[in-house]
A and B are shown apart, each in its own frame.
Chain A
């Protein structure tokens, strides 16, 4: 029976092709819309994750209570081993050590005495190991305004305006004045290798970025780090995953009594980010729901019109003795087949497009040449499990409902009348 209907559908392109195209397009749009909205709304969250919070972050319990001040005297010790162990324990996360610190940048004159000085916020990240992950996360390559990334030890990047204010040029020496993990005075020389600009006043005033090995030397933090940030290998923040990993981690590492036990916080647990996480997920819910309702109406309308168009044919079929119920049922079955196949095709195409947008994203770089902006210039979609089935609701059900309503005419009207519509 299905095979018979299927053949019919294949042979009568008008009965199949246009509804199929319409359904597939609708479903495709739904899937792409869902993935893109998810990606775009997640953008602020990802941005926060990359620059500050990670998807999860490990700190000592004492550090976490004062995290805004980056108290490196409360740093995590024995990080080499720790990072190795947790990487095995939580393979779903990629861990990166980071040291945030405050200090002064001091510029010498010819005799090595202070010529200029300014307050600075420093970030020590992995830049020299060959792993590009951290450099990419902080969007450093596209924020580079002059010079190059550090290629060797003792090289540092500085905010462009900061370097200008201090009268520094690429290749010049600068001295970081800060305090070590033990509170001692820390003095360390760097060569300025490049200037950066993120497009955010706070970061463009006095940021110094250097390789974490240098920062460790400077701050006497051998085998220690202020924070360990974890980034999910699925590429984006998933609250359930992060919460789950954090609670597993804390079960084995955290103790309320020990100020220096390790505490993992999910992004949502840091700096009011929980609000943003929930807010954007609710907003996404609303947007997607409305979109689906609208798309359902359109597909329902398509189904309805498709059904109405076939009244002539129904009349003929009733005239040659087919039962009303049979006509109705086969019509519904046809609609179901088309809806299902259309939704399949739409979902596949939609996922393919979403996958492309997730992998390569849309590069806004060329469009924003002059605006320097801290956000990554490539915007990406994000495929979540819902994307796999979300298109089926409007795809299968609405055209089916449309056909159901249209098909009611089969029962209402007399054979003769339907037959007449064939003629008209």
Chain B
């Protein structure tokens, strides 16, 4: 009897040992995705009900709380700039020569008709600060072995109570993310692909966001060029630079 229990216990522990610790994986992901600062240009392809349109952006970010974005395309939006400091967001448009502060409810509005809200864009807190991660199994996504990680929020103020990540076991990059409502309904799905080696880290260059309740093909986000840990002058993250 004792043996049986021992067997069971060891059996279970070996079984458990096969699945790595979720937090460790998240830490590894952070190593790939987070950086002191970075500069990148990207395109956002938004599939509307009637038309598809593309926006090209150049973004400077430092740490978690500072980011500056300039619109490069379309011509109509050229020169529009967006500055995010902590919880605040300002937008500057050259045509009106105005700096508009986006606050409160406006942050929940969709950005440029995409499946992303300003809030989504601003949400870049580390997953480990908000979620308890537990590996629940493995699955093959796009030919890569992935851990399935169940994320459960431990802070109350959070958009998604639960998320599920499919993390590439070799490259430590999530290839698929699913966001769930408290009730368990799948709300959003993100697919990351075109993972490339950049400055010694793996980075997905294509991200597709999809609101699962809504019809439509979602929003594509393509990284065209990205540099990590390059020096960025502090004045970039000031309101004065919006008007430049």
Contact = CB atoms under 8 A, between A and B. Distances in A.
A and B touch in the complex (CB under 8 A): yes
Contact of B80 (A175, A185, A220): A185
Interface in B168-185: none
A177 B101 CA distance: 10
Nearest to A220: B76
A73 B76 contact: no
Interface stretch (A16-24, A37-45, A112-120, A398-406): A112-120
Interface in A97-131: 104, 106, 108, 111-114, 117
Given A74-B50, A113-B239, A114-B101, A183 B96 contact: no
A76 to B, nearest CB: 12
Interface in A211-270: 220, 259-260
A163 to B, nearest CB: 18
B51 A62 contact: no
A208 to B, nearest CB: 15
Contact of A189 (B50, B98, B110, B243): B98
B46 interface: yes
B235 to A, nearest CB: 17
Given A184-B112, A185-B91, A112 B98 contact: yes
Interface string A283-312: 000000000000000000000000000000
Nearest to B77: A184
Interface in A162-185: 175, 177, 179, 182-185
B88 to A, nearest CB: 11
Contacts of B110: 179, 183
Given A73-B113, A113-B239, A187 B49 contact: no
A304 B53 CA distance: 82
A188 interface: yes
A175 to B, nearest CB: 5
Contact of B101 (A117, A185, A187, A220): A117
Contact of A62 (B49, B76, B97, B112): B49
B122 interface: no
Given A74-B50, A113-B239, A220-B76, A187 B113 contact: no
Contacts of A187: 80, 91, 93, 95-96, 98, 100
B46 A183 contact: yes
Given A183-B114, A187-B95, A189-B96, A73 B101 contact: no
Given A114-B99, A188-B95, 12 more contacts: A73-B113, A104-B106, A108-B98, A111-B99, A113-B90, A113-B99, A177-B106, A182-B53, A184-B76, A185-B93, A187-B93, A189-B97
Interface of B: 46, 48-51, 53, 55, 74, 76-77, 80, 90-91, 93, 95-101, 103, 106, 109-114, 239, 243
Interface of A: 62, 73-74, 104, 106, 108, 111-114, 117, 175, 177, 179, 182-185, 187-189, 220, 259-260
